[in-house]
Amino acid sequence: MSLRQQSRTTQASGFMRKNRLRKRVASGRRERFFGLSGSTATRELVVIGVPWDTTSSYRRGASAGPDITRWATSSRLYNHFTEQGMDLSKTWHVCDHGNVSKSKVSNLREDIAQLAGHHNHHDPSMLFLGGDHFITYPCFDFVQEGSGHALSLLYLDAHPDLYESYEGNPNSHATVVSRILERKERESGKVCYVGIRASTREQDQRISSLGLTAHTTHDVYAQGCEAVSFSVRSFLRDELVYLSFDLDCLDPAYAPGVANPQPGGLTTRQVLEIMHDIAGLRIVAADVVEYAPEFDSDARTTAFTSAILIKEMMGIMGQSA
- Residue 101, pLDDT score: 87
Cα gap 147→284, rounded to integer Å: 9
Long-range contacts made by residues 299-302, C-beta under 8 angstroms, separation at least 24? 300/68, 300/72, 300/257, 301/254, 301/255, 301/256, 301/257, 302/247, 302/255, 302/256, 302/257, 302/258
Each residue of 211-223: pLDDT tens digit? 999 999 999 999 9
- Residue 54, pLDDT score: 81
Calculate mean pLDDT across residues 122-128: 91
Each residue of 37-90: pLDDT tens digit? 999 999 999 999 999 888 777 788 899 999 999 999 999 999 999 999 999 999
Cα gap 321→181, rounded to integer Å: 25
43-50/240-246 β-pairing: unpaired
Calculate mean pLDDT across residues 284-291: 97
- Residue 295, pLDDT score: 95
- Residue 109: which residues within 8 A CB-CB, separation 6 or more? 138, 141, 142
Cα gap 149→102, rounded to integer Å: 29
Share of the chain above pLDDT 90, in %: 74
- Residue 51, pLDDT score: 94
- Residue 47, pLDDT score: 97
- Residue 212, pLDDT score: 95
Which pTM was predicted?
A: 0.90
- Residue 189, pLDDT score: 72
Count CB neighbours of 128 within 10 A: 28
Task: Write the CATH number of the domain with boundaries 29-318.
Answer: 3.40.800.10
- Given a cut of 70, whether residue 321 has pLDDT beyond it is no
Cα gap 96→117, rounded to integer Å: 12
Short-list 139, 150, 144, 143, CA closest to 111? 139
Q: Please give the mean pLDDT across all residues of the chain.
A: 90
Cα gap 101→106, rounded to integer Å: 13
- Given a cut of 70, whether residue 193 has pLDDT beyond it is yes
Each residue of 111-120: pLDDT tens digit? 999 999 877 7
Report which secondary-structure segment, H or E, holds 26. helix 3-26
- Given a cut of 60, whether residue 208 has pLDDT beyond it is yes
- Residue 171, pLDDT score: 87
Each residue of 138-175: pLDDT tens digit? 999 999 998 888 899 999 999 999 999 988 888 889 99
Preceding amide of 38 cis, omega within 30 = no
